Amino acid sequence: MRRELYNKLIAWKKSPKKKPLILNGARQVGKTWLLTEFARNEYEKSVVFSLDRDSDARQIFENGGTARQLLQRLSALAGIDITADNTLLILDEIQECPKAITALKFFDEDTPQIHVAAAGSLLGISIHEQSSFPVGKVDILRLYPMNFKEFLCAMGREQMAANLNEGDWGNIDALSSAYIDFLRQYYYVGGMPAVVSAYASDGKLQQVRELQNKILDDYEADFSKHAPINEIPNIRMVWQSIPSQLAKENKKFIYGAMKPGARAATFEKAIQWLHDAGLIYKVNRVSAIKMPLKFYEEFGAFKIFMLDIGLMGAMVAAPAAAILVKNTIFTEYKGAFTELFVCMQLQGTGIPTFYHSLENSRIEIDFAVQLGTEVYPIEVKAEENVKSKSMQTFIKKHPELKGIRLSMKPRITQDWLECIPLYGFREELIRMDKP
């Protein structure tokens, strides 16, 4: 499976100013696989230590020493010389060894010619940022679940993915029914690499759900293993409430939806923990859609989205028939799956993303994005029926803006509105973001 982040790894290798690399992200998004695949393709040699399992490697870091001493001992342990430029040293699950995180600083300062890459869970890395994190001494990349274009490639549809990448709307519109079919599959399978790989291999839907449920169980186990004991019940309540929160007409996160009388002070640490672990995306509200959006950000009002659309489907036990055969996934759940899809595709693009609403107003703009020197309100529609007065009313009040509507309708450009199909919006927004 080809991941888009691979190109950034190549750029890191070629950079004359590179530092030790940390590839982070939520658990099970494919960090280890990506680094080992990168090493296999781009280096003559690689040395991999899994610091969660290899006690001898952990002990080398625990004993300390200079960067050259550490490299000498690691080479002896692996039976492979770690040499400049042609060897990639991979430290997997680095969060399990704080001394190894600290050692990245010494690799940067004393042996910059050695290529070092570490993989670690977002949660585990953030825990150590207070004490041993080598600030300014490492390069950092974040890996997310597979986006829709990566899913198409995994399914053997490279040309369909290339059409999206190139903005070839003639071919995209001609293949709209095929894109919609694969979009349905993506809604069910999601972007967790192990799940996508299994589905691409044999297409067994039951196996997809079993793998997704296993991942959800692993995340629940992480709550007990890593979270402060007094926060575990609150973390579970927030986590379990996300689907119902997204099913509301107004998707602003409501504390009282978890239990009567709930207040922000009770749950804000739980939300932050889930965010630090990379298990949720938090989209803050802006009071106005003006340039730059960050100036108008409100931290007390926000939406919360789950890490992966397939995992949310598994959490609510959405039946395969409702997604792959019937049209209900695009008409029911009040757009919860579709908004999650949009949010998920925006991750990793670098596009500043918010949403907009006003108190005591029925108008809500699903997303607001900053593309280059312009800002755009985005309306998300789950199907071809796009009748809604929210966007039209909003643009009439703000004629200086141009809206974006995402739906199943073909690509259409109007004076006040850009209509973009859901399956091609990510790449189109990236093009619009370029200077």
Q: What pLDDT is stored for residue 143 in this prediction?
A: 97
What is the per-residue pLDDT for 250? 80
| pTM greater than 0.85 (yes/no) | yes
Say what the pLDDT of residue 131 is: 52
pLDDT recorded at residue 236: 96
| pLDDT at res. 384 | 66
Q: What is the pLDDT of residue 192?
A: 98
320 contacts 166 by C-beta, under 8 angstroms = no
408 contacts 330 by C-beta, under 8 angstroms: yes
What's the pLDDT at 65? 96
Q: Where in the chain is the domain with CATH 3.40.50.300?
A: 6-142
Task: Locate 82 and state its tokens.
Answer: 């770690």
Q: Which long-range contacts (CB under 8 A, 24 or more apart) does 365-370 make?
A: 365/289, 365/390, 365/391, 365/394, 366/339, 366/342, 367/283, 367/342, 367/343, 368/286, 368/289, 368/293, 369/293, 369/404, 369/429, 370/291, 370/292, 370/293
**Contact at 8 Å (CB) between 192 and 314?**
no
pLDDT score, position 187: 94
Which pLDDT belongs to residue 197?
A: 97
- The three-class DSSP label of residue 160 is helix
Within 8 A by CB and 6+ apart from 37, the residues are: 6
Q: Judge whether 124 and 95 are in contact, CB under 8 Å.
A: yes
What pLDDT is stored for residue 433 in this prediction? 95
The segments of the chain whose pLDDT lies below 50 read: none
d(CA 255, CA 245): 10
Q: What pLDDT is attached to residue 327?
A: 64
* Residue 259 pLDDT: 84
Smallest Cα–Cα separation from 247: which of 182, 319, 147, 318? 318
Q: Which two tokens stand for residue 378?
A: 């985005």
Q: Are 46 and 82 in contact (CB under 8 A)?
A: no
pLDDT for 331: 59
pLDDT value of residue 389: 72
CATH class entry, domain 6-142: alpha beta
